[in-house]
Amino acid sequence: MKKLLSIAAAVIFLFPLQAQNQQTMNYDQAWKKVAELEQKSLPRSASEQVNQILRKAIAEKNSPQTIKALIHQGKYDLALDAEEDTLIFRHLTDMLGKSTDPVERSVLHSMLGELYLQYYQKDRWIINERTAISGFVPTDMKEWSKNNFYDKVVEHLNASIESYSSLEKAEVQSYGPIVTFGKDSRHFYPTMYDFLVLRAIELFSQVGEDMDLSRSLAKKKIALSSLFAPAGEFGKLNFDPQPGEYNLWALETYKKLLVSLSKRNLNTSVVLAELDKTGYLAKLRNAHQQYAFSSLQSMLKEWGNDPVSLEIVDKMADIYTTQIEGFTQQDSLKRTEKTKELYDLLHKTIQAFPNNERTSILENRLLQLTQPYFLVKGNNTFDAEVEKKLVVEYKNLRKLNAKLYRLDSPLSAVYSSNRGRQQTDEKKTLIREIWIPLSSRQPYERDQTELELNITEFGSYKLEFESDPVAEKEGNNSFYFSVSGLAVFSRLSAKDTYEFFVVDRVNGQPVKNARINIYKLPGSWYNSALTLETAIPVNGVGLAVYNKNISNNDVFYQAVAENDNGSPLHSFPWSYYPQEDRRTQTAETVNLFTDRSLYRPGQTVFFKAVATTTKDDSSQVTANKSLEFVLRDANDQEVSRQVLKTNEFGSVSGEFVLPQGSLTGYFRITTHNGNAGFRVEEYKRPAFEVTFGKIETTYQFGEEITLTGKAESYSGV
């Protein structure tokens, strides 16, 4: 519900306020105090401060401040009473009924439309389960179905832009207290009509999202291609949304905006609105892919000499990027062609408007397109006698060099792959430096070359790369590989029992003279040396079995044979052995219950717990066991604790007194293998209340229970 009330309206391109009189400054100071109280988690004090602002705003007939105060008042009412989630609707509706100013009424309608939509979205999973109600609207909003909420949203948003002539004359700055201002709005969207229409579009876009827009348009005989037509043609489309056709209202409102802007000769604003509409139409994926780009090309042809073309090119770049990323390796030629088109377009547009601040958007895109990078691909293990080549893919590099090292321990490669970073103290010996030949290409073009490794000696190796310019890192600038004639397969065959099968890497035959070395790290990765735990020879078919009897988790294995010690080091399999019979394990559970789910500060929480032990698919109560219970507040800090012992039936009961003056919210009572949560709020006493006394007797499972309670009605007479 917090989201429901965070409703300070925000629209792109709104112009900041320049001057403020002393009266506004007084409001600023008052709202600053409200913010401070809210940060201190003092909703009641903040509510009192807001009420002062509200009284002052009403007395001065300051509509923007009145609306802002009502919104905040609704938020704090909710914080003090969780059930009062509809109070803000009544406040704004009352103000709407008393208001005669068309602009003020339009703003109230807009906010009510958003509130109804957000209320629905908050509980959509519950509301969507209800059968649609037609013909009438229940008095209690908590009984509404989805269509009731959508109808209210449509009603209020359309009412918010109904007073066209009055809204067109009103400047958006006049409602500064409830509008989040941005740059350039006075130039592009100067009136309250523009502001409210843009808000309506944003909200209508969220209505009927589960409906098929293409089907709704087909019923109206509107071709999808016409949605991407120029503003003049789009304005002639007859959407005419009927009751229930919720997903057509966004397009209908776009039409109203474009027609209005065109009549006022705000041509640049028309372009911006068309670009926004094109983005909205991306939900029609196939149509957007087919028509959006050509529509943007037509706009660019018309507006190529105007700075607004920067915005058009930015939208075109989005489509180019999607197309480029969609090409496979086999379509590298098409990928290069599209990349060149994008590069040329960005470069040309940047040169045309070098001093425009919006040019930086395209400059950033150009930097991303030409970002230097390289990526090394290839096998991580080679046989000693085979050709060893790696593929290096690169872009926009002048130089690329590599240093080849032999590693004293294969642990570094495991560390890099498992931890995503290198050892800082790895022991290595430089073998040689390698200069990698690169071809001269355009800065946006990708290319690849081969790196041949002339190594025949068994062992673990590392390549460290340096580039000019410094390249974007793909992982890190290192590549680990091994030279070995051995391949090893492993599996977890039983709990703590591992099997290893060693074969020749080339012909797949078992290696009979091999062994499996088991290593462990006694300490951490940073301060521990690899230690040989044991060596297990393979049998006649290349199989070795290891029964793990050490507690270490960082355990590794490596296959070696005679002088071949280059096989990579592998972590032990982490798979859980599925045949383990978990029914033999003993599980203890504590089920905790509280007498209520909502309390006020200072009240007593009565709780009961039942402890059970489960083994061999059967459960029994845990009698005469001491359990420690801890009360934790909304910040999960300990408030109080007590130790209680279960009776012969495995149950125990107790109570905690909630603290006064602490932060309200979600509290918990925890114990080993069990917990229960509840809310602590400052809430109003209900008009009708049923209470039950403390349960003094213990019961067994299956026994009939009779509860005695008291019902109270508060009539006020």
**pLDDT computed for residue 608 by the predictor:** 92
**156 vs 586: which has the higher pLDDT:** 156
Flag whether pLDDT at 11 surpasses 90: no
Residue 26 pLDDT exceeds 90: no
Res 48: pLDDT? 83
| Residue 39 confidence (pLDDT) | 80
Number of Cβ within a 10 Å radius of residue 33: 16
Q: Is residue 651's pLDDT more than 50? A: yes
Average pLDDT in the 574-586 region?
A: 56
Q: Contact 566/558 with Cβ under 8 angstroms?
A: no
Contact by Cβ (8 Å): 113, 201: no
Flag the least confident range among 207-211, 243-247, 281-285, 316-320. 207-211
Q: Does residue 696 or residue 500 have the better pLDDT? A: 500
Which helix (H) or strand (E) covers residue 292, if one does? helix 285-303
Q: What is the DSSP string of 481-546?
A: EEE-SEEEEEEEEETTEEEEEEEETTT--B-TT-EEEEEE-SS-TTT---EEEEEEE--TTSEEEE
pLDDT at 352 over 90: yes
Catalogue all structural domains in the chain, each as residue range(s) with its CATH number. 1-207 (no CATH), 373-483 (2.60.40), 486-571 (2.60.40), 584-713 (2.60.40.1930)
- Give pLDDT, residue 77: 65
Question: Would you say residue 18 has pLDDT above 60?
Answer: no
Confidence of residue 365 (pLDDT cuts 50, 70, 90): very high
Write out pLDDT tens, residues 60-73: 777 777 777 777 77
Specify which residues 10 forms β-bridges with. Answer: 180
**Whole-number Å distance between alpha carbons of 160 and 139:** 23
Q: Alpha-carbon distance 554 to 524, whole Å?
A: 9
> What local confidence, expressed as pLDDT, does residue 3 receive?
40
CB 463 within 8 A of CB 436: no
Helix (H, G, I), strand (E, B) or coil at 678: strand
The pLDDT assigned to 12 comes to 28
pLDDT tens readout for residues 593-614 = 998 888 888 889 999 999 998 8
**Predicted local distance difference test score (pLDDT) of residue 544:** 93
Beta-strand ranges (E) seen in 378-505 are: 381-382, 389-395, 399-407, 428-435, 446-452, 459-468, 478-483, 486-494, 497-504
661: left (phi over 0), alpha (psi -120 to 50) or beta: left
Specify the pLDDT at position 171.
79
Average pLDDT, the chain: 83
Q: Please give the full DSSP string across 48-67, using - where no structure is assigned.
A: HHHHHHHHHHHHTT-HHHHH
User: Above 60 in pLDDT, residue 715?
Assistant: no
The pLDDT of residue 6 is above 60: no
Report which of 203, 223, 209, 216 is spatially closest to residue 243, judged by C-alpha positions: 216
* Predicted pLDDT at 367: 93
- Quick one: average pLDDT of 694-712? 72
Share of the chain above pLDDT 70, in %: 84
- 273-332 pLDDT, tens digit each: 999 999 999 999 999 999 999 999 999 999 999 999 999 999 999 999 999 988 887 888
555-560/515-520 β-pairing: antiparallel
State the Cα angle at 412 between 406 and 418, rounded to 5°: 145
- Tell whether the model's pLDDT for residue 21 goes beyond 50: no
Please tell me whether the overall predicted TM-score, pTM, comes out greater than 0.85 for this model. no
Count the helices and strands in the chain (H runs, E runs).
20, 28
Confidence of residue 270 (pLDDT cuts 50, 70, 90): very high
> Measured between alpha carbons, how far apart are the two ends of the chain, in Å?
34
**Each residue of 509-561: pLDDT tens digit?**
999 899 999 988 776 555 567 788 899 999 989 999 999 888 777 788 999 99
pLDDT of 527: 54
pLDDT tops 90 at residue 210 = no
Q: Specify the amino acid at residue 256.
A: K
Residue keyed to tokens 């409102």:
253
Task: Note whether 681 and 600 are within 8 A (CB).
Answer: yes
Q: For residue 27, which amino acid is it? A: Y
Q: Could you report the per-residue pLDDT of 91-149, keeping only the tens digit for each?
A: 788 888 888 889 889 988 998 998 899 888 888 888 888 888 888 889 888 889 999 99
Among the listed residues 671, 683, 680, 710, the one whose alpha carbon sits nearest the alpha carbon of residue 694: 710
Higher-confidence residue of 701 and 458: namely: 458
The percent of residues in the chain predicted with pLDDT above 90, rounded, is 45
